[in-house]
Amino acid sequence: MSSRRVRPVPRHVPIAVLACLVLAGGSAVAEAPSPAERVRVPDPTVSAGEVAKRLSRYVHVEVGPSLKKLDARTLQLLRKLVEASEHVERAYWDQVSPDGFAMAEELDARGDTASRDLATFLRVNYGPWDRLAGHAPFLGPTEKPEGASLYPHDASRREIEKWIADHPADRDAFLSPYTVVRRSNGALAATPYSKAFREPLGRAAAALREAAGLTDCPGLAKFLAARADALVTDDYSASEMAWMDTGACRVDAAIGPYEFYEDRLMGFKTVFSSVVTVTDEAATAKLAKLSSYAPDLLKQLPLAGEGMADRFEAVKPSGITVADEVFAAGDARAGFQIRAYILPNDEKVRVARGTKHVILRNVVEQRFNYLLKPIAKAVLPDDHVEQVDFGSYFDTLLMWQLAHGFAPKSVVLPGGGRVPPRVLLRQRYGIIEAARAEAISLLNGFLLVDKGVFHTDRERSIPVTWLASLFESIRAGTAETHGIAKLVVYNKLAEADAFRYDPATRRFSVNPERIRPVVRELVGVLLSIELNGDYDAAGRLIVDYGLVPAEVRGKLDEIAGLPVDILPHYTVRALPR
């Protein structure tokens, strides 16, 4: 698939300039802090040279659609959506590192190179913890709380669970994805997001209402108005439904609280993000038929056990959209850039309206060119490297998209009643869900080869490309949900001889005789855990298989000098306001 080449930003552009152009999310709409508002910046825990070294592993690139092809009104709309995104980003800062944004501003004001580099690295990570190094602190000695700033920093999992058990009237508020938990007069209390982050969300809502008046697409206007209401009322259901009914609008925005991964304490809370896109209508049309295979693929899943199939279903089929990213903020680019998304996560909305499957084509292409190709040459034997092309990389991502379209309905409780698997699996749910999607994506690739949808060469190239992408993913952090999930899949497949490592050549390969049956077996294991809500089995799987094996650790050390991610310079920022 062809696309407009997004050129790298010249290496000679100073980091300080890039900090403003690329990473200053919110700076264009925020006032400079007064002396009284300034926070104390702790001393760095790594050297200035080490910070500069870590920053050098990011490739600076321009990201955005061809602005010359967009009319003046569309450009106005995009600018307003970026403004709303910057305000939502401030709420995200408050969720993950309340002092982080002010610390970055303070470091910028110092003017020296070392301070500016620290400010840039703060913005890359949305806080003083390196997300690509297991959240290790680089500014001050404080460890990152498992619950970020969504709970009291000293709260334990046991304390939260005991409070819910002892105060059943608080259960719904504590389990809500849209509340933070705080201490008040010695007790725990849940505070709605609209109250906890009133100022940035109020500004974001105002910008979204203005944006609604700038679009000629009625469906998008309805969503933007509904989302503005949701940000100040915490009732997101209506706006999620409206988002699924926007129709064929060229411009779109996934803006709001979506993902649960930042909550490593309980797995209950969502965090804010935004991705603004312009759809590539021609590329999207080519993929329109793919989602129609979802029901057939669902029937092929290994759902062993009586009644299992009745509790698992394909989310209402949705087309896969190919779009160019215009701007991203918050969780969508915390530490690393997302390549695609499947939203919303509200199960009721997913079953009633389906999901939006969006592939960020310009980001995918940049990641393939600057990250995956060098990695493949370093980790795979020559006969495998030639199979890693952009088409296989893109198809691997398509399979991952389809895999997320299969959703478990519920877990049947021993005493009667049903609950979503997330409630029982708690903080382990995200890893099991992500590992399930990874395994099913491989299985889907094989099944579509059988159906003649994919050429037979994909039988080999998809697992080979997945193996190379393992290193792309876990270099973004082995303590992150998706990194752990990838390791679970790799270790299970390697244990069963589907993946092999040659210590003489230090290269990894796929065993074509074993890959299919082993993948199918793993899918069955993951589905069983999820559909039974088996918290203990999830824990055993993560502990036993979510670690970095010696051969992978050695290869990670070998490729440490390769780029770890792209840092986007959003072309939309060049537009006058």
What is the 3 state secondary structure string of 95-109?
HHCCCHHHHHHHHHH
The structure tokens listed for 189 are 């209390």
Identify the bridge partners of residue 324 per DSSP, sorted by sequence position: 278
Q: Which residue has the tokens 């209508």?
A: 281
Is residue 6 a contact partner of residue 362, using CB atoms and an 8 Å limit? yes
332: enclosing H helix or E strand: none
Is residue 84 a contact partner of residue 255, using CB atoms and an 8 Å limit? yes
**Nearest in space to 229 (alpha carbons), one of 246, 245, 205:** 205
Look up the pTM and report it.
0.81
The structure tokens listed for 196 are 């906890």
The region that residue 105 occupies, defined by phi over 0 for left and psi between -120 and 50 for alpha, beta otherwise, is: alpha
Distance between CA 266 and CA 510 in Å, rounded? 36
Q: Which residues contact 297 (CB under 8 A, 6 or more apart)?
A: 314, 402, 406, 444, 447, 448
State the amino acid at position 180 in one-letter form: V
The structure tokens listed for 162 are 């005991």
- Tens-digit pLDDT profile for the chain (577 aa)? 333 333 344 333 333 333 443 444 444 444 444 444 578 999 999 999 999 999 999 999 999 998 888 999 999 999 999 999 999 999 999 999 999 999 999 999 999 999 999 999 999 999 999 998 889 999 999 999 999 999 999 999 999 999 999 999 999 999 999 999 999 888 999 999 999 999 999 999 999 999 999 999 999 999 999 999 999 999 999 999 999 999 889 999 999 999 999 999 999 999 999 999 999 988 888 777 777 787 788 888 887 555 555 666 555 656 789 999 999 999 999 988 999 998 999 988 987 888 898 999 999 999 999 999 999 999 999 999 999 999 889 888 888 877 876 767 677 677 777 888 888 898 899 999 999 999 999 999 999 999 999 999 999 999 999 999 999 989 877 778 889 999 999 999 999 999 999 999 999 999 999 999 999 999 999 998 988 889 999 999 999 999 999 999 999 999 999 999 999 999 998 776 5
Is residue 224 a contact partner of residue 211, using CB atoms and an 8 Å limit? yes
Q: Which residue has the tokens 């440490």?
A: 560
Chain centroid to Cα 250, Å, comes to 23
The region that residue 362 occupies, defined by phi over 0 for left and psi between -120 and 50 for alpha, beta otherwise, is: alpha
Distance between CA 271 and CA 344 in Å, rounded? 13
Q: Where are the domains of the chain?
A: 293-311+380-546
411: enclosing H helix or E strand: strand 411-412
Distance between CA 385 and CA 508 in Å, rounded? 11
Distance between CA 125 and CA 413 in Å, rounded? 40
SS3 433: helix
Distance between CA 555 and CA 115 in Å, rounded? 32
